[in-house]
């Protein structure tokens, strides 16, 4: 149940691996926090000092282990969290569960993340539906938020997406990824890559189960995102 106290802060619609799956447990442990329970977790043994892992995952841990479907947004005037949850349930009722391709560690703009090993039209369609169908719940971004997004160079298409949908990497600019680190620089980045490969490499042969979508909530910008609801995909199989 989504709390009616969630009018403040930001919401997001994310993919989160099933709670019983090893990938969920490992991803949360790597980031040092379970966003569903709020518990701090022991970092996995991987040849890196736990403090070193903490230093390179601070921002990623703040958001929690996930892949973005609809990026974080404040609620529009007149929209409440219960109505948002109902809209997500309506969307999820039309989408059948599916198996996405496996994930593998990769580099995206200096960040390390898990990406799919092959294209997945079902995942792209799910993300597009979340972005477009839930957009009436999104308040327009502030001038400060837009300036922050534009501080990183954007293509004309990405800039247009930012203006229309509040985020540049959606629809045909979407790339599924589960962020594992902040931006890495320096000569020791290869040690992180080796550690991530040792931990997450085995998942490159396992399909990724997509059984539900998750609502995450951030009460205020200083606090971390919490997973507040898992909403099952219950649509008919194709």
Contact 154, 104 (CB under 8 A): no
Q: What is the pLDDT of residue 7?
A: 62
Q: What is the pLDDT of residue 2?
A: 45
Residue-level length of the chain: 238
Distance CA 117, CA 99 (A): 13
Distance CA 114, CA 121 (A): 17
Task: List, for residues 197-233, the tens digit of each pLDDT value.
Answer: 999 999 999 999 999 999 999 999 889 999 999 999 9
Instruction: Categorize the per-residue pLDDT at 18 as very low, low, confident or very high, splitting at 50, 70 and 90.
Output: very high
- Over residues 82-108, mean pLDDT: 97
**pTM for the predicted model, two decimal places:** 0.93
Higher pLDDT, 150 or 135: 135
Euclidean distance between the first and the last CA atom of the chain, given in angstroms as a whole number: 29
Query: Residue ranges of the domains in the chain?
Result: 1-16+69-96+121-175+211-233, 19-65+98-118+176-209
- Over residues 83-105, mean pLDDT: 98
Distance CA 8, CA 16 (A): 23
Least confident of 115-119, 177-181, 188-192, 208-212: 188-192
Residue 209 parent element (H or E): strand 208-210
Q: According to DSSP H, which parts of the chain are helical?
A: 22-31, 50-56, 58-63, 81-92, 121-133, 143-150, 156-165, 189-200
Q: What is the pLDDT of residue 3?
A: 42
Contact 136, 79 (CB under 8 A): yes
């Amino acid at each position: 149940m989504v709390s009616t106290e969630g009018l403040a802060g930001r919401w997001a619609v994310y993919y989160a691996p099933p709670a019983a799956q090893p990938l969920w447990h490992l991803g949360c442990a790597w980031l040092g926090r379970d966003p569903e329970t709020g518990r701090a977790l022991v970092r996995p043994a991987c040849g890196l000092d736990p403090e070193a892992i903490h230093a390179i995952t601070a921002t990623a841990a703040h958001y929690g282990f996930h892949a973005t479907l609809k990026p974080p947004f404040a609620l529009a005037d007149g929209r409440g969290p219960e109505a948002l949850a109902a809209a997500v349930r309506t969307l999820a009722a039309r989408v059948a569960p599916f198996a996405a391709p496996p994930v593998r560690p990769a580099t995206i703009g200096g960040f390390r993340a898990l990406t799919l090993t092959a294209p997945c039209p079902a995942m792209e369609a799910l993300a597009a539906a979340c972005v477009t169908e839930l957009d009436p719940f999104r308040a327009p971004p502030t001038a400060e938020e837009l300036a922050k997004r534009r501080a990183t160079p954007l293509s004309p298409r990405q800039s247009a997406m930012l203006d229309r949908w509040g985020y540049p990497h959606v629809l045909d600019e979407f790339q599924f990824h589960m962020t594992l680190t902040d931006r890495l620089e320096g000569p020791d980045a290869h040690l992180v890559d080796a550690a991530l490969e040792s931990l997450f490499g085995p998942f490159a042969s396992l399909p990724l189960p997509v059984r539900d979508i998750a609502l995450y909530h951030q009460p205020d910008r200083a606090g971390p995102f919490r997973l507040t609801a898992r909403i099952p995909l219950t649509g008919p199989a194709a």
